[in-house]
Structure 1
Amino acid sequence: MNRKTLVLPAVAGLLAPALAACGASDSGSNSGDAIVVGTTDRFTATKDAPAPLDPAYSYDVGTWNILRQTVQTLMIQPKGEGEPVPEAAQSCGFTDTGNERFACKLRSGLKFANGDAITAEDVKFSIERARTIKADSGVFALLSTIDTIETQGDNEVIFHLKTADATFPFKLSTPVAGIVNPDDYEKDKLRDGFAVDGSGPYTLEAKTDGDEMTKAVFTKNPNYKGTLSVNNDEVDMVSYKDADDMGTALEKGDIDLMTRTMSPEQIKKLSDASADGDIDLVEISGLEIRYLAFNTTAPTVKTKAVRQAMAQVIDRAQLVSEVYGSQAEPLYSLVPASLTGHSNSFINTYGEPDKAKAKALLADADVSTPVKLTLNYTTDHYGPATKQEFETLQKQLNASGLFDVAIEGTPWETFVPAERKGEYAVFGMGWFPDFPDADSFVAPFLDKDNFLKSPYANSDIITNLIPASRREADRLSAAKTLTKIQDIVAEDVPVLPLWQGKQYVAANNDVTGSAYVLNSSATLQLWELGHGSSN
């Protein structure tokens, strides 16, 4: 089968094509009107996580992409990236010079999908609910700068912040700030299962097999009012057990488009193929990062020198070359290279991989070698190359003679509860930003109530540096403070950045809108898709 590759520029705002839109989906591209999208994301309701789609709990890229289609937020990231714009709100903005009072007026006639009118009290209820429940996912921390929420009449919501936060409009664009119907959600309890009731561009019907959602049927919401143009009537998102099954489904025409997570081999095959054919590969600038995280109280890695020695030994360039090729690049900081505020703090601190320097770090701290460690990773969340990635890390560390490393893979539904309970000393994770700003790569890892449940706490970062960075409305002015944070991380190594990656979508070329179906934060924008010619 012939294929062609479309490579999009890093700045999405430079994209020029006008993408036509037609109707939408039900099975494959050869029958019905529904557009069918494949994913390897798995959606399960377990004893440890019974409410995967509750906005007060959800905090991973897969479930957020369900909520982005169904639950409306006051603000939204625009199609061409940039600063967030009003969505459920007609207007929003800071009303003081100190960025501590943020007011929004709702759109006239705003309704939930069932026809119930949305009021300012519903917005207040939804956001206060997430703050009250404080789910163990840690997503509530995105709302940590809110002090109180005030309503004026039915259409105005005013947020009084504890401290200046120039990133607050971005946070109001995330699903944790999604507006839910108080008739369907209890104030102080999560909603179990897969039902979602909101006012977004689609309604959701979940097709399940036991405790797993196997298909998400998104149907255009006739009561939706917002900024989005919905180019289809239905999109079905089908979960596949692995990338190979998903790829086969695309080639057979059972699905129209596949997104995360494809294997490096699939991407290379699609990229290398001829420009003539019936499948398009779209490369999209992304902000995904991958890293190792440490339980800094675990005996094996409690000593900072152990973590520093790992940072000194690991060869990111070799890791990327062997596992991901041109689909990723080495990362030397928590903040990706394409964002304002990035600093190569790890390479500035450690230079090139050096076994002798690592040995000296351990010797100076009286650490006996080889240090015995287990690297834990998830087998079914970040793509099929994850195992190879950890095998490569294992080889690098063991080859130094300073470490005796084992690796252990665990399914996501088991991995996440174990990580949150502190059962792993070292574990691999990926991060897709909440929004495209350096704050989203700093605060979730290092602030109070961080989502990793990390025992690491640096008082200067928490008390001074993060608040100082948020006071800067001009994000260039925050760069100096953000660099200080990244330098502290490189010194203390509570997390060890490995690489940042690109994003890919493969679609039958009678699907329009595939160039816009993902933004840089890995947000699915299914409303962009339609049937027609993509050429």
Structure 2
Amino acid sequence: MNRKTLVLPAVVGLLAPALAACGGAQAGSGDHGGIVVGTTDRFTATKDASAPFDPAFAYDAGAWNVLRQTVQTLMRVPRGGGAPVPEAASRCSFTDRASESYRCSLREGLTFSDGTPITAKDVKFSIERVLAIKSDNGAAGLLANIDTIELKGDDEVVFHLKTPDATFPYKLSTPVAGIVSSEKYDARKLRDGFGIDGSGPYTMEAEVRDDQVTKIVFTRNEHYKGDIKLRNDKVELRSFDDTDAMGKALETGDIDMMTRTMSPEQIKDLADHPKDGIELREMPGLEIRYLAFNTKAGSVQDKAVRQAIAAVVDRDQIAGKVYGSTATPLYSLIPSTIAAHTNSFFNKYGEPSRQKAAGILSGARITTPVKLTLHYTSDYYGPGTAKEFEALRDQLNATGLFDVSVQGSAWSEFRPAQKRGEYAVYGLGWVPDFPDPDNYIAPFLDADNFLNSPYVSSEARTRLIPQSRRAADRNAASPAFEQLQEIVADDVPVLPLWQGKQYVAHRDDLNGVEWALNTSSDLQLWELGRGTA
């Protein structure tokens, strides 16, 4: 990535390490009516997604970034990464060596934003509510290993797990584990609309037009008690239709920073032609993009078809032609910057080869050309997605082995149709819920997975995933992850394509930007302030 201001991504070992702390800065005070951040994330209430901000439903980066400002979790990942630290809790720890029992004590004086006291009962209610609703959006899968929740008085809660899970503290740091009130949320039903009642660092007010959020104003929660230190009193998150409109707003000073999702063209232009008063910053990132398959769909039910696609896809061309320096080819679900990564797809298929693909199809007696439609979302990942899928189509059709068309649709239509299994082949992106290899494997292969996929590997689900979670020393889990990556490369329920880098652009009077987005693309608006760092 070319840039004017650079923060190099550095991920060594299995977990993203903490970044070095930076010097203090003058705290922001909400000058000019508050700090304004732009995004192309769209928040829409539909029949299929009537509760975009309910912790029991939300499972995308945009919605989670709203929840992280407004609901508290027992644990949180600190500003620069590393092991989770207590947030709503004053302390948490495993009480056994097997990582099957996890106890947390709540902070003293914890309340919701309306001043209502929070007790361990609220924690139990919130977690059990997620598991009872079990939304098909997939977030409940993060908590599915909980067997029972035991209360010890008003301020202690103990989670008894079905199987050992050293990653459980990370899962308690995600918004699906957000603490909500039984007076404001139904135990068995999702909460419709865009309201959020929590105990996080901010309260929120959404401006809505035609069932779609146009902006959200976050205001300092005066009742907040937790680990986060706010450097501002108010931040506005403004949603834009496209990256060009967002970029113009930054140039005119209507917004102070733009985040998800800048286009490759914007990034290159800002890098090559710096603009007065604007800085481009590369942030550590762990996002991946991939093709996924409905393995029960007739056209791709035979894994030979999926393997043949894997044998001819040219990741270098897609990354270079469409995304330039903002993406690198990826040959595993686990990013190359995490030590558990192996080049499993390259090891199995090598360089793109029509001859190899033809041999795979011929050996399985598959009639060619195989007719396929590749589906993608047209308004969620930025303008490069359409170009990417056109390139994939052209690559596959050039072999003569496939007859491929592409079809884009809005996220509000795409995601429900994908979950219903209407697409045989479709493209999605993934940013980790927490920076551990488990979160690049379980959401795709485990039961109740994010994709709602019919694919099942009993070896992965019953042996390797549980085995990987037993290791408190995460480096010791590498052998299990290596086998899991080999299973994915052989069965191809998912085909990794590229690993992305993330950028923000901001006005130069804004400070704290280096902490405002972590490797998991978690937006940390409380880090932003005005003045000279």
Alignment of structure 1 residues 73-88 onto 2, 5 Å: 73-88=73-88
Deviation of the 1:273 alpha carbon: 2.8
Instruction: Determine helix, strand or coil for the equivalent of 2:163.
Output: coil
Alignment of structure 1 residues 483-494 onto 2, 5 Å: 483-494=482-493
Q: Which residue of 2 aligns with 1:295?
A: 294
Instruction: Determine helix, strand or coil for the equivalent of 1:442.
Output: helix
Alignment of structure 1 residues 23-102 onto 2, 5 Å: 23-25=28-30, 32-102=32-102
Deviation of the 1:16 alpha carbon: 4.1
In structure 2, the gaps of 5 or more residues are 12-16
Question: What is the identity, as a one-letter code, of the residue corresponding to 1:15?
Answer: A
* TM-score when normalising by structure 1: 0.97
Deviation of the 1:19 alpha carbon: 4.3
Q: Which residue of 1 aligns with 2:176?
A: 176
Q: Which residue of 2 aligns with 1:20?
A: 25
Q: Which residue of 2 aligns with 1:28?
A: none
CA RMSD, Structure 1 to Structure 2 (Å): 1.1
Instruction: Determine helix, strand or coil for the equivalent of 1:43.
Output: coil
Instruction: Determine helix, strand or coil for the equivalent of 1:293.
Output: strand
Question: What is the identity, as a one-letter code, of the residue corresponding to 1:388?
Answer: K
Q: Which residue of 2 aligns with 1:498?
A: 497
Deviation of the 1:182 alpha carbon: 1.1
Instruction: Determine helix, strand or coil for the equivalent of 2:32.
Output: coil
Alpha-carbon distance in structure 1 between the residues aligned to 2:354 and 2:44: 43
Alpha-carbon distance in structure 2 between the residues aligned to 1:223 and 1:50: 29
Instruction: State the Cα deviation string for residues 174-222 of structure 1 (Å, max 9, x = none).
Output: 0000000111001111000000000000001011102011101000001
Deviation of the 1:533 alpha carbon: 2.2
Q: Which residue of 1 aligns with 2:137?
A: 137
Question: What is the identity, as a one-letter code, of the residue corresponding to 2:345?
Answer: F
Moved >6 Å (runs of 4+): none
Q: Do the aligned partners of 2:7 and 2:514 also contact (CA within 8 Å) in 1? A: no
Alpha-carbon distance in structure 1 between the residues aligned to 2:388 and 2:9: 27
Deviation of the 1:468 alpha carbon: 0.3
Mapped pair 1:362 → 2:325: no
Alpha-carbon distance in structure 2 between the residues aligned to 1:196 and 1:20: 31
Alpha-carbon distance in structure 2 between the residues aligned to 1:455 and 1:6: 42
Deviation of the 1:149 alpha carbon: 0.3
Question: What is the identity, as a one-letter code, of the residue corresponding to 2:472?
Answer: A
Q: Do the aligned partners of 1:390 and 1:407 also contact (CA within 8 Å) in 2? A: yes
Alpha-carbon distance in structure 1 between the residues aligned to 2:400 and 2:9: 43
Alpha-carbon distance in structure 2 between the residues aligned to 1:13 and 1:510: 26
Instruction: State the Cα deviation string for residues 374-403 of structure 1 (Å, max 9, x = none).
Output: 000000001110000001111111111111
Q: Which residue of 1 aligns with 2:14?
A: none
Instruction: Determine helix, strand or coil for the equivalent of 1:132.
Output: helix
Q: Do the aligned partners of 2:99 and 2:164 also contact (CA within 8 Å) in 1? A: yes
Mapped pair 1:519 → 2:524: no
In structure 1, the gaps of 5 or more residues are 26-30
Instruction: Determine helix, strand or coil for the equivalent of 1:32.
Output: helix
Question: What is the identity, as a one-letter code, of the residue corresponding to 2:98?
Answer: G
Aligned length: 526
Farther-moved stretch of structure 1 (265-274 vs 5-14): 5-14
Q: Could you say if the C-alpha distance between residues 391 and 415 of structure 1 is closer, same or farther in structure 2, counting changes exceeding 3 Å?
A: same
Alpha-carbon distance in structure 2 between the residues aligned to 1:95 and 1:16: 31
Q: Which residue of 2 aligns with 1:213?
A: 213
Q: Which residue of 1 aligns with 2:104?
A: 104
Q: Do the aligned partners of 1:53 and 1:63 also contact (CA within 8 Å) in 2? A: yes
Q: Which residue of 2 aligns with 1:234?
A: 234
Q: Which residue of 2 aligns with 1:124?
A: 124
Deviation of the 1:66 alpha carbon: 0.3
Question: What is the identity, as a one-letter code, of the residue corresponding to 1:336?
Answer: P
* TM-score when normalising by structure 2: 0.97
Q: Which residue of 1 aligns with 2:152?
A: 152
Question: What is the identity, as a one-letter code, of the residue corresponding to 1:512?
Answer: N
Alignment of structure 1 residues 421-500 onto 2, 5 Å: 421-500=420-499
Q: Do the aligned partners of 1:4 and 1:277 also contact (CA within 8 Å) in 2? A: no
Deviation of the 1:321 alpha carbon: 0.5
Instruction: Determine helix, strand or coil for the equivalent of 1:23.
Output: coil
Instruction: Determine helix, strand or coil for the equivalent of 1:489.
Output: helix
Instruction: Determine helix, strand or coil for the equivalent of 1:287.
Output: coil
Instruction: Determine helix, strand or coil for the equivalent of 2:502.
Output: strand
Deviation of the 1:271 alpha carbon: 1.5
Question: What is the identity, as a one-letter code, of the residue corresponding to 1:197?
Answer: D
Deviation of the 1:317 alpha carbon: 0.9
Alpha-carbon distance in structure 1 between the residues aligned to 2:434 and 2:454: 25
Alpha-carbon distance in structure 2 between the residues aligned to 1:501 and 1:343: 17
Instruction: State the Cα deviation string for residues 466-502 of structure 1 (Å, max 9, x = none).
Output: 0000001111110000110110110000000000111
Q: Do the aligned partners of 1:4 and 1:273 also contact (CA within 8 Å) in 2? A: no
Question: What is the identity, as a one-letter code, of the residue corresponding to 2:503?
Answer: Y
Alpha-carbon distance in structure 2 between the residues aligned to 1:250 and 1:380: 20
Q: Which residue of 2 aligns with 1:411?
A: 410
Alpha-carbon distance in structure 2 between the residues aligned to 1:84 and 1:7: 22
Instruction: State the Cα deviation string for residues 296-347 of structure 1 (Å, max 9, x = none).
Output: 0101101111000000000101110001111111110011111231111000
Instruction: State the Cα deviation string for residues 132-158 of structure 1 (Å, max 9, x = none).
Output: 000110110100110000111110000
Mapped pair 1:261 → 2:291: no
Deviation of the 1:9 alpha carbon: 4.1
Q: In percent, how many aligned pairs have the same letter?
A: 61
Q: Do the aligned partners of 1:8 and 1:282 also contact (CA within 8 Å) in 2? A: no
Question: What is the identity, as a one-letter code, of the residue corresponding to 1:234?
Answer: K
Instruction: State the Cα deviation string for residues 342-367 of structure 1 (Å, max 9, x = none).
Output: 11100010011111000000000111
Alignment of structure 1 residues 248-397 onto 2, 5 Å: 248-274=248-274, 277-397=276-396
Alpha-carbon distance in structure 2 between the residues aligned to 1:272 and 1:480: 43
Q: Which residue of 2 aligns with 1:197?
A: 197
Deviation of the 1:24 alpha carbon: 4.3
Instruction: Determine helix, strand or coil for the equivalent of 1:78.
Output: coil
Instruction: Determine helix, strand or coil for the equivalent of 1:170.
Output: helix
Q: Do the aligned partners of 1:77 and 1:173 also contact (CA within 8 Å) in 2? A: yes
Q: Do the aligned partners of 2:206 and 2:216 also contact (CA within 8 Å) in 1? A: yes
Q: Do the aligned partners of 2:9 and 2:285 also contact (CA within 8 Å) in 1? A: no
Question: What is the identity, as a one-letter code, of the residue corresponding to 2:20?
Answer: L
Deviation of the 1:455 alpha carbon: 0.6
Q: Could you say if the C-alpha distance between residues 131 and 21 of structure 1 is closer, same or farther in structure 2, counting changes exceeding 3 Å?
A: farther
